[in-house]
């Protein structure tokens, strides 16, 4: 049941297309050519056409792309056409920040649970969800359909927690801990690692490099 296997580079760009199309939609733009879009996004028109054609012929010769149509199509490709139930494990600053982020819910990512080990946090409510203790997790996972587990906990606790979650049937993990969970979990578990400190180090590299090059 395999498709042609879309390259990672293409998938990485998809959400960006989606964002720009959303903005165009807000601005009431009805259609756009790969050329116009390429100027806005600072990528080549060729790349846009190639990327989109991995998924189908969404455009029309002599016309371009219908913004609304393309927007909806990409949403479907990205799986944004349905609700993803999400839990967050680690209700510290970052966990709460993510739980509070309204925009996610607009895209179909619905936070249905918040967990921590710190008893002080027990029962504390964030956006109407009261923080539960981690030992309630197995029961919770049995009673609720959870599509995505977000890990915002210390690096040393993340691998063990991830394993536990996978044992309870969780199939996708959004990982903010500074460790590569994908290497320790079964291959069929989807892991998206967000390593903020690595992002900051890249910034630091570019900054140092810039300064070096300018005496």
Which residue ranges make up the site for its own copies (CB under 8 A)? 1-3, 11-12, 14-16, 18-19, 42, 77-80, 84, 92-94, 96-98, 100-101, 103-104, 107-109, 147-148, 171-172, 174, 178, 180, 183, 188, 190, 192, 194-210, 212-215
Q: Choose among DNA, its own copies, none what residue 115 binds, the Cβ cut-off being 5 to 8 Å by kind.
A: none
Provide the minimum distance between the beta carbon of 136 and DNA in the complex, in angstroms, as a whole number.
Answer: 42
Rank residues 11 and 136 by Cβ distance to its own copies and give the closer one.
11
Q: Choose among DNA, its own copies, none what residue 190 binds, the Cβ cut-off being 5 to 8 Å by kind.
A: its own copies
Provide the minimum distance between the beta carbon of 215 and its own copies in the complex, in angstroms, as a whole number.
Answer: 7
Rank residues 59 and 90 by Cβ distance to DNA and give the closer one.
59
Site residues for DNA per CB under 7 A: 7-10, 32-35, 43-47, 49-50, 52-53, 57-65
Q: Where are the beta strands (DSSP E) in the chain?
A: 31-32, 59-60, 64-66, 84-89, 109-116, 125-126, 129-130, 132-133, 148-151, 172-175, 190-193
Instruction: Give the alpha-carbon dihedral of 151, 157, 160, 162, to 10 degrees.
Output: 10
Instruction: Give the alpha-carbon dihedral of 185, 3, 20, 84, to 10 degrees.
Output: -50
Rank residues 130 and 139 by Cβ distance to its own copies and give the closer one.
130
User: Does residue 42 contact residue 13 with C-beta atoms inside 8 Å?
Assistant: no
**CA-based radius of gyration for the chain:** 20
d(CA 62, CA 125): 54
End-to-end CA distance of the chain: 56
Q: Choose among DNA, its own copies, none what residue 174 binds, the Cβ cut-off being 5 to 8 Å by kind.
A: its own copies
Provide the minimum distance between the beta carbon of 44 and its own copies in the complex, in angstroms, as a whole number.
Answer: 15
Angle, CA of 38, 40 and 45, to the nearest 5°: 0
């Amino acid at each position: 049941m395999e498709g042609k296997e879309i390259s990672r580079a293409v998938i990485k760009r998809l959400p960006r297309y989606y964002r720009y199309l959303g903005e165009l939609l807000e601005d009431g733009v009805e259609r756009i050519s790969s050329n116009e879009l390429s100027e806005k996004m600072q990528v080549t028109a060729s790349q846009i056409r190639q990327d989109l054609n991995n998924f189908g012929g969404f455009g029309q010769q002599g016309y371009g792309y219908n913004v609304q149509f393309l927007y909806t199509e990409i949403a479907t490709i990205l799986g944004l056409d349905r609700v993803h139930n999400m839990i967050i494990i680690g209700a510290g600053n970052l966990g709460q920040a993510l739980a509070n982020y309204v925009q996610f819910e607009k895209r179909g990512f619905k936070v249905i649970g918040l967990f921590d080990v710190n008893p002080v946090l027990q029962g504390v409510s964030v956006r109407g969800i009261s923080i539960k203790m981690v030992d309630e997790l197995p029961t919770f996972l049995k009673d609720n359909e959870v599509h995505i587990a977000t890990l915002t906990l210390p690096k040393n606790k993340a691998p063990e927690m991830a394993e536990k979650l996978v044992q309870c049937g969780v199939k996708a993990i959004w990982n903010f801990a500074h460790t590569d969970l994908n290497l320790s979990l079964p291959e069929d578990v989807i892991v998206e690692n967000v390593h903020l400190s690595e992002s900051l180090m890249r910034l630091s590299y570019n900054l140092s490099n810039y300064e070096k090059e300018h005496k």
